[in-house]
Each structure stands twice: as C-alpha cells, then as structure tokens.
Amino acid sequence: MKKSAQGHGTSNIAPTLIMAPMAEITTAPFRQCVRNFSSDVILHTEMLSAAALSTGAVHNEPLLQKTERDEPLVYQLLGSDPGQMSQACIILAALGAAAVDLNMGCSAPDILKKCQGSKLLADFDSARQIVKSCRAAFKGSLSVKMRSGYDSSDPVYLANFALMLQDEGVDYITLHPRHGRLGFRRTADWQLVAMLKNRLGIPVNGNGDIVCAEDAVSRLKLTGCDGIMIGRRAVQEPWIFRCCRDLLDTGSYSVHVNMCELFNKVLAGIGLLLPPELHKSRMHRFSYYFTKNFCFSHELFTKIRNVDKPEHASDIMNDYAERNPHENIRVFKGGSADGIHEGLDRT
C-alpha cells in the first residue's frame, strides 16, 4: 500500500500505518521511539487546543516542537469555535505544518463538556462551519479523526456526516467505530469502516481494538480501508508498526526489543526535550501503558507513579530488569498474513 495524493490539500499524506494522537503521550521523545522501528508510520502531535494556539498561550510551545525524523507529522487540533480553529490552522501553517487533523473523536468528559471532540458529531452545522473555515485557512492536508456518532452509531447519519466532510474538502477520514458515549466499552464495529470506504471517494482509515499486527492485516482485508491507526496498543508496544509492515510485505515478522533500553530512551528524551513541568505527567502516562508488558506490571507502575523525575523512573526500571532478566530481551514474532493468530510468540 502506497501513499497517494487525494483531496484538496497539497500534501501527499494518505497513510496506511498511523500512530494515533494521544494526550500526554505522543510527545517528541515517544514519536522518536516509534520512528526507530518504522520509517513510514504517520506520526501525530498531542491534541492541541485551538483556543490556546490562537491566543498564543505559552504552554502549547513544547507540544509544537518537532524534529526532522518526525516527518510526516500531523498536528491535531481540538476545539469548537470556527474562528479559533481557522486561526490555529494559520499559525500551524506558518510553523511549517503540512498536515492538520481535526479532532471529532475524543470522548473524555471534560472535552465533551466544552462541546469538543466527539460532541461535534451531534451538531452537523457547527461541524460543517469548522471544516469550512479550516479548509479556507489551510492549504495542506486536512483530515478528521472521528467516532461513529456522539451517542449512537446510526449508519445513515454517519454516512451523511462523512459525505459532508468530504464535500467541504477534507482529504481523508479516520473512523473509530464506536460512538462517543461508549468511550472504549464494547467492541469496535469495523463494518462501519467498510461502509464508509464504500460510500466515500477519499481515503478512509480505521482505528479501534487493534492489539497485534495480525489484527491490522485482518481489518484491512475485512474493510478495504486505506490505513490503520493504532493508539493504546502502540504505546504499550511501539514496535507494532514494524510488525505490521513486515507482515504486510513478507507475511511474517520477528522483532527483537530491549525493553529496559527502550523505556530509558523515551524517559531520557522527556527529561531532555520537555520542560520540567511536563516531566511527571508524560513519564507517568507512557509508563502506565508500557509497564503492562511485564509480569509484575502493577507493582512496577506503582513504584514509578511515586517518583517525579524521569531518571528516578529509569532507576526503577533498571532494577526490575536486573531482577527479571528474562523479561528484558524480548522477541515478538508471528506469521499469518490472513490475520489468524497462529505461531505468535510474545515471550
């Protein structure tokens, strides 16, 4: 699967493997960790507040930093005011952004109270105005990450909403096929991804419940969608995109990982690249997911949660690796191009 230029934007981003934007997670250090395993995965910033950007709030500055290895990088915008959203697009374009994604998928209660994220799906006209204003302000790739609805997953409403996005100039859509009120409960309905792919003339990516490379390949074949976005599992296993690419290209994968070294590199990057006031939140969020790889994950994360500095968290991980060396050097391999979980070795 190759990237192809489609839609109104001038960027050629129509991704097949995508790291989801995640608050307090997809920092520059974490993005570099993902990039070390995959040269072609599309990366995202953390969610960026359009209100904060448009008013020049200084706390957004660390979230905007990027390195050459980040490219292609998509900046994700969160907001509900068309004027602020378009102004934020102008600011991002001036910073060199080639791609902007509009958040219509976040289901966090504090976001919904502001009529942002997936709450926008309940207001057809407001969503249209946001997209229209952003399209007029931004000439690069403009995409939308969305749920299948705000409080229900009506296929007719979803199709009409997505067609509106297409008509207003969105270049591609990423669908998480749960409605916003569900959060992450129940199972994602990937038939909705297939439905949108059949209805739209722009690329459609799917997101939700991908836990291994076999799942990604299976969903691609099931739906015919153009790409797969992975969020929570990719924080736990940043090498998953390498597994996906190898499985797509060769029918098998085998990835060796030094778990302690990977963890320490991300935390060192947090300490080096981010301001001190962000160290605790970012290292704790990453650690929450990554420690799930270990047998004594609860004990390990509890210890890390009780420290404030990245170097202290690294000391805890180093001690764990010394006491449990069999968990440090890991091999992740599999080999079914049909998406069947056979021969999967996660020792």
Rg (CA), the chain: 20
Q: How many CB atoms lie within 10 A of CB 272?
A: 10
320/186 Cα distance (integer angstroms): 34
State the catalytic residue, choosing from 33, 89, 106, 244.
106
Residues 45, 20: Cα–Cα separation, whole Å: 9
**CA angle 84–88–90, rounded 5-degree value:** 120
How many Å from the N-terminal Cα to the C-terminal Cα in the chain? 30
Tell me whether residue 225 is one of the annotated catalytic residues: no
Pairing relationship of beta strands 141-147 and 227-230 according to DSSP bridges: unpaired
251: left (phi over 0), alpha (psi -120 to 50) or beta: left
Show the tokens assigned to 111. Answer: 């976001």
Residue in 61, 72, 44, 66 with CA at minimum distance from that of residue 231 = 44
Beta partners for residue 141, in sequence order:
99
Strands (E) in the chain, as ranges, are 17-19, 43-49, 73-78, 99-104, 141-147, 172-176, 204-207, 227-230, 253-258, 329-334
Name residue 129's amino acid: Q
Tokens of 343: 């021969």
Exposed, middle or buried: residue 113 (CB in 10 Å: 0-12, 13-18, 19+)?
exposed
- Residue 202's Cβ-side half-sphere holds a number of Cα atoms within 13 Å equal to 26
Specify the DSSP element, H or E, that contains 317: helix 310-323
Point out the residues that are catalytic: 106
